[in-house]
Amino acid sequence: MNTEDDKDETRLIAERLFEAFRAVGPFKRRPGLGHAARPGEFQLIHRLAHESPETGLRVGDLAAWLAVKPPTVSQFVDALESRGLVERFADPDDRRAIRVRLSKSGREIADSFHARAIEETEALVSHLGIADGEKLAELLTKAAEFLSAHHGDRCCGHPGDQPTEVCPHANLHNDNEGER
């Protein structure tokens, strides 16, 4: 049973969490190692590294996963291809479709992104201490489960099992494609 005091306390905690998320957001969105200038490029590299790295993914599936329109993904792919990080190739099962996969250089960049992320996360755990680091991991896992249950596995640019699921907020993302 929620009392008025519980609602007030819940609201205060929600506001603190909102401010904390807002404070860490810029760190999540910063470019990685100078190779992916836009967050969407970084997300694309990450996705290609972790899902079907040999067979690649279709542009349409990447667009659905990023919750943007295919032309936006094509712009990301153009930029990454011009830097030698991805390669396009015809889908062997559908000649009309184009697939994208990481090049050897792209794979090296993805590996360096991952190593850097692990180093930074280890530094955070060292700062927090083992007990608080474990608590944070547990709470973030619970938060991810809640968000997945309420918004689907593919909400707002976070990896899910189905790359073709579309975020229920896609209309908001499409209005702000340059920011993604």
Q: What percent of the chain has pLDDT over 90?
A: 38
Domain boundaries, the chain: 1-30, 34-179
Listed residue (108, 90, 95, 94) closest to 48, CA to CA: 108
Give residue 107's pLDDT: 94
The answer to whether 89 and 99 are in contact (CB under 8 A) is yes
Most confident listed range (13-22, 27-36, 84-93) = 84-93
Mean pLDDT check: name the lowest of 6-15, 25-34, 55-64, 73-82: 25-34
Q: For domain 34-179, give the CATH number.
A: 1.10.10.10
> What's the pLDDT at 52?
81
pLDDT digits (tens, 9 = 90+) for 167-176: 443 433 333 3
At residue 163, the pLDDT reads 36
Residue 10 has pLDDT above 70, yes or no: yes
- Exposure pattern of 92-108 as b/e (b: 16+ CB <10 Å)? eeeeeebbbbbbeebbe
Reported as a single tens digit per residue, the pLDDT across 107-144 is: 999 999 889 889 989 999 999 999 999 999 999 889 88
Identify the sign of the CA torsion 52, 56, 61, 62.
positive
Q: What is the pLDDT of residue 139?
A: 92
Q: What is the mean pLDDT of the chain?
A: 79
Q: Model confidence at 49, in pLDDT bands (50, 70, 90)?
A: very high
The CB-based long-range contact list for 25-29 (8 Å cut-off, 24+ gap) reads: none
Tokens representing residue 75 in the block? 């712009």
Q: How far is CA 16 from the centre of its chain?
A: 23
